[in-house]
Amino acid sequence: MKKFLIVGLGNIGEKYNNTRHNIGFKIADAFVKEHEGSFETEKLGDIAKLKIKGKTVIVLKPNTYMNLSGKAVKYWMQKENIQVENLLIITDDLNIDFGKIRIKGKGSSGGHNGLKDIQDKFNTGAYPRFRFGVGAEYSKGRQVDYVLGKWSAEEESAMIERIPFSVKAVTSFITAGLANTMNEFNGK
Protein backbone atom coordinates (compact mmCIF):
# COMPACT_ATOMS: atom_id res chain seq x y z
CA MET A 1 0.00 0.00 0.00
CA LYS A 2 1.28 3.44 -0.91
CA LYS A 3 1.84 6.06 1.78
CA PHE A 4 1.83 9.80 1.19
CA LEU A 5 2.99 12.74 3.28
CA ILE A 6 1.21 16.01 2.58
CA VAL A 7 2.86 18.96 4.34
CA GLY A 8 1.23 22.35 4.72
CA LEU A 9 3.84 24.95 5.61
CA GLY A 10 3.11 27.82 7.96
CA ASN A 11 3.92 29.38 11.30
CA ILE A 12 2.24 28.39 14.55
CA GLY A 13 0.61 30.92 16.84
CA GLU A 14 -2.42 33.16 16.81
CA LYS A 15 -0.60 36.14 15.27
CA TYR A 16 0.17 34.11 12.12
CA ASN A 17 -3.38 32.80 11.59
CA ASN A 18 -4.85 33.93 8.29
CA THR A 19 -1.58 35.35 6.92
CA ARG A 20 -0.36 34.77 3.38
CA HIS A 21 2.61 32.74 4.65
CA ASN A 22 0.21 30.27 6.28
CA ILE A 23 -1.65 29.23 3.13
CA GLY A 24 -0.08 25.77 3.49
CA PHE A 25 -1.80 25.35 6.86
CA LYS A 26 -5.08 26.66 5.41
CA ILE A 27 -5.04 24.18 2.51
CA ALA A 28 -3.97 21.30 4.80
CA ASP A 29 -6.87 22.11 7.15
CA ALA A 30 -9.38 22.18 4.27
CA PHE A 31 -7.95 18.94 2.81
CA VAL A 32 -8.27 17.09 6.13
CA LYS A 33 -11.80 18.44 6.67
CA GLU A 34 -12.82 17.40 3.14
CA HIS A 35 -11.66 13.85 3.86
CA GLU A 36 -13.34 13.83 7.29
CA GLY A 37 -10.16 13.64 9.33
CA SER A 38 -8.80 15.57 12.28
CA PHE A 39 -5.42 16.68 13.56
CA GLU A 40 -3.65 15.46 16.69
CA THR A 41 -0.55 17.14 18.10
CA GLU A 42 2.39 14.76 17.83
CA LYS A 43 6.15 15.09 17.58
CA LEU A 44 7.19 18.20 15.60
CA GLY A 45 3.68 19.07 14.43
CA ASP A 46 -0.01 18.42 14.04
CA ILE A 47 -0.76 15.15 12.22
CA ALA A 48 -3.87 13.79 10.53
CA LYS A 49 -3.99 10.22 9.21
CA LEU A 50 -6.40 9.52 6.37
CA LYS A 51 -7.31 6.73 3.95
CA ILE A 52 -8.02 7.85 0.39
CA LYS A 53 -8.81 5.22 -2.23
CA GLY A 54 -6.80 2.56 -0.41
CA LYS A 55 -3.82 4.83 0.18
CA THR A 56 -2.55 5.97 3.58
CA VAL A 57 -2.17 9.74 3.73
CA ILE A 58 -0.42 11.55 6.55
CA VAL A 59 -0.97 15.30 6.66
CA LEU A 60 1.57 17.36 8.61
CA LYS A 61 1.49 20.94 9.81
CA PRO A 62 4.97 21.42 11.32
CA ASN A 63 5.18 23.27 14.65
CA THR A 64 8.84 24.18 14.04
CA TYR A 65 8.05 27.53 12.39
CA MET A 66 8.48 28.01 8.67
CA ASN A 67 12.26 28.43 8.56
CA LEU A 68 12.88 25.07 10.31
CA SER A 69 10.27 22.97 8.48
CA GLY A 70 12.82 20.47 7.16
CA LYS A 71 13.33 18.84 10.57
CA ALA A 72 9.63 17.89 10.88
CA VAL A 73 9.35 16.77 7.24
CA LYS A 74 12.44 14.56 7.50
CA TYR A 75 11.30 13.05 10.81
CA TRP A 76 7.85 12.07 9.50
CA MET A 77 9.18 10.76 6.19
CA GLN A 78 11.58 8.47 8.05
CA LYS A 79 9.09 7.48 10.76
CA GLU A 80 6.41 6.52 8.22
CA ASN A 81 8.87 5.21 5.59
CA ILE A 82 7.53 7.47 2.84
CA GLN A 83 9.26 7.77 -0.52
CA VAL A 84 10.19 11.28 -1.66
CA GLU A 85 7.97 11.01 -4.76
CA ASN A 86 4.99 10.62 -2.37
CA LEU A 87 5.80 13.84 -0.51
CA LEU A 88 3.96 17.06 -1.36
CA ILE A 89 4.95 20.38 0.24
CA ILE A 90 2.25 23.09 0.13
CA THR A 91 3.49 26.66 0.43
CA ASP A 92 2.98 30.27 -0.57
CA ASP A 93 4.75 31.87 -3.54
CA LEU A 94 5.29 35.58 -4.18
CA ASN A 95 6.24 35.00 -7.82
CA ILE A 96 2.83 33.63 -8.79
CA ASP A 97 -0.32 35.72 -9.16
CA PHE A 98 -2.79 35.45 -6.32
CA GLY A 99 -4.76 32.21 -6.33
CA LYS A 100 -2.90 30.51 -9.17
CA ILE A 101 -1.19 27.25 -8.38
CA ARG A 102 1.97 25.62 -9.66
CA ILE A 103 2.83 22.01 -8.93
CA LYS A 104 6.28 20.68 -9.78
CA GLY A 105 8.28 17.55 -9.08
CA LYS A 106 11.46 19.45 -8.27
CA GLY A 107 12.96 22.91 -8.28
CA SER A 108 14.79 25.53 -6.28
CA SER A 109 13.64 27.11 -3.04
CA GLY A 110 12.90 30.31 -4.97
CA GLY A 111 14.05 32.26 -1.91
CA HIS A 112 11.40 30.63 0.29
CA ASN A 113 12.98 29.83 3.67
CA GLY A 114 10.70 26.86 4.40
CA LEU A 115 11.62 25.20 1.10
CA LYS A 116 15.26 26.14 1.62
CA ASP A 117 15.34 24.32 4.97
CA ILE A 118 13.69 21.23 3.48
CA GLN A 119 16.20 21.29 0.64
CA ASP A 120 19.07 21.57 3.14
CA LYS A 121 17.80 18.61 5.19
CA PHE A 122 17.34 16.43 2.09
CA ASN A 123 20.39 17.69 0.17
CA THR A 124 18.20 18.00 -2.93
CA GLY A 125 15.46 20.07 -4.49
CA ALA A 126 13.98 16.94 -6.11
CA TYR A 127 10.73 16.63 -4.17
CA PRO A 128 7.17 17.57 -5.24
CA ARG A 129 5.86 20.95 -4.21
CA PHE A 130 2.57 22.81 -4.54
CA ARG A 131 2.94 26.57 -4.67
CA PHE A 132 -0.08 28.79 -4.07
CA GLY A 133 0.34 32.26 -5.54
CA VAL A 134 0.04 35.14 -3.10
CA GLY A 135 1.15 37.77 -5.61
CA ALA A 136 3.68 40.51 -5.03
CA GLU A 137 1.63 43.55 -4.10
CA TYR A 138 4.21 45.09 -1.81
CA SER A 139 6.66 47.96 -2.03
CA LYS A 140 10.40 47.42 -2.13
CA GLY A 141 11.80 46.05 1.11
CA ARG A 142 8.34 45.12 2.46
CA GLN A 143 8.31 41.44 1.42
CA VAL A 144 8.34 40.06 4.97
CA ASP A 145 5.51 42.38 6.05
CA TYR A 146 3.51 41.28 3.00
CA VAL A 147 3.81 37.50 3.50
CA LEU A 148 3.18 37.85 7.24
CA GLY A 149 0.27 40.20 6.53
CA LYS A 150 -3.41 39.26 6.57
CA TRP A 151 -5.34 38.55 3.37
CA SER A 152 -7.18 41.51 1.84
CA ALA A 153 -11.00 41.43 1.74
CA GLU A 154 -10.83 40.75 -2.01
CA GLU A 155 -8.42 37.84 -1.49
CA GLU A 156 -10.60 36.46 1.32
CA SER A 157 -13.66 36.35 -0.94
CA ALA A 158 -11.66 34.65 -3.73
CA MET A 159 -10.50 31.99 -1.23
CA ILE A 160 -14.01 30.55 -1.19
CA GLU A 161 -13.23 29.07 -4.61
CA ARG A 162 -9.44 28.77 -4.52
CA ILE A 163 -9.18 26.63 -1.37
CA PRO A 164 -11.56 23.86 -2.62
CA PHE A 165 -9.75 23.96 -6.00
CA SER A 166 -6.45 23.49 -4.16
CA VAL A 167 -7.90 20.58 -2.16
CA LYS A 168 -8.93 18.91 -5.44
CA ALA A 169 -5.35 19.32 -6.72
CA VAL A 170 -3.86 17.73 -3.58
CA THR A 171 -6.34 14.84 -3.82
CA SER A 172 -5.42 14.41 -7.50
CA PHE A 173 -1.72 14.18 -6.57
CA ILE A 174 -2.58 11.17 -4.38
CA THR A 175 -5.07 9.47 -6.70
CA ALA A 176 -3.89 10.41 -10.21
CA GLY A 177 -0.16 11.10 -9.75
CA LEU A 178 2.12 14.08 -10.20
CA ALA A 179 2.13 14.31 -14.03
CA ASN A 180 -1.67 14.15 -14.39
CA THR A 181 -2.12 16.67 -11.57
CA MET A 182 0.36 19.10 -13.12
CA ASN A 183 -1.43 18.85 -16.48
CA GLU A 184 -4.84 19.45 -14.97
CA PHE A 185 -4.17 22.13 -12.35
CA ASN A 186 -1.02 24.13 -13.17
CA GLY A 187 -1.55 27.79 -13.95
CA LYS A 188 -5.24 27.70 -13.09
Residues annotated in the binding site for tRNA, as ranges? Answer: 16, 65, 67, 113
- Quote the pLDDT of residue 145: 79
Instruction: Dump pLDDT digits (tens) for 21-36.
Output: 999 999 999 999 999 9
Whether 21 is catalytic is yes
pTM for the model stands at 0.94
- Quote the pLDDT of residue 139: 66
- Quote the pLDDT of residue 1: 60
What's the rounded Cα separation, in Å, for the pair 121 and 87?
14
Lateral strand order in the sheet of 40-42: 40-42, 45-52, 55-62, 3-8, 87-93, 129-133, 101-104
Residues annotated in the binding site, as ranges? Answer: 16, 65, 67, 113
Catalytic member of 20, 21, 26, 129: 21
Span 104-132, average pLDDT: 93
3-185 is a CATH 3.40.50.300 domain: no
Question: Strands (DSSP E) along the chain, which ranges?
Answer: 3-8, 40-42, 45-52, 55-62, 87-93, 101-104, 129-133
Least Cα distance to 130 among 64, 15, 31 occurs for: 31
Least Cα distance to 58 among 68, 181, 78 occurs for: 78
| Exposure on the CB side of residue 187, measured as CA atoms within 13 A | 2
